[in-house]
Amino acid sequence: MGSAAIVSMTAPRAPKPMRARLSIETEVAAMSDLSREELTAQWEKIYKCPPPKGVRRELLIRAAAWHLQAKRLGGFSTETRRLLRSAIDRVEKKIADRDRQPNVVDDDIKVTIAQKRKQVLPGARLVRDWNGKTHIVDVIEDGFVFEAKIYPSLSSIARKITGAHWSGPRFFGL
């Protein structure tokens, strides 16, 4: 009988990892009740810098939750950290190569340099044929003259001619 009492007294309790998991789940769930200011303060404590401008509240919650779990459960494995470092190095190398050689076509990245639009000076005349009709626009100091009316932009004239939205400079070949 005495040994039965000892066994019942030393019966195993719930393992610690289960309690730790419940505690983490409770803490993570409680993060949704924190204010944006509290979440921002946690971000600054974790990352030693303010969060990026415009970052969503949901991301602040997820970052704090991930950090809590990583702190308690160990974070990324060595293999995962190695894979992430390798991926970061590849991206940084592609960016550095791209910056050294503009207009290079890469496996994942195509870089092109936009050409500057031609500046149209007052006194210039733009001519465009559209649907068999020739349209003439005169450039003045404060806008553009088309069919004896002054327009603020070439896009508004292109819309009048075509009935659809167009980039005015593109429509007139600039």
The pLDDT tens digits of the residues spanning 6-64 come to 433 444 444 455 555 568 888 888 888 999 999 999 999 988 999 888 889 999 999 98
Tokens found for residue 129: 């044929």
Where would I find the H helices in the chain?
2-9, 16-31, 36-47, 57-73, 78-100, 154-162, 168-171
Provide the residue type at 58 as one letter. Answer: E
Find out whether 65 and 83 touch, Cβ atoms under 8 Å. no
What's the pLDDT at 171? 86
E strand or H helix at 132? none
Say whether 145 sits in a helix, a strand or coil. Answer: strand
Query: Across-strand partners of 110?
Result: 105
Span 112-136, mean pLDDT? Answer: 79
CA distances from 80 to 39, 74, 90, 92 (A): 27, 12, 15, 18
At residue 15, the pLDDT reads: 47
pLDDT of residue 40: 92
pTM of the entire predicted model = 0.40
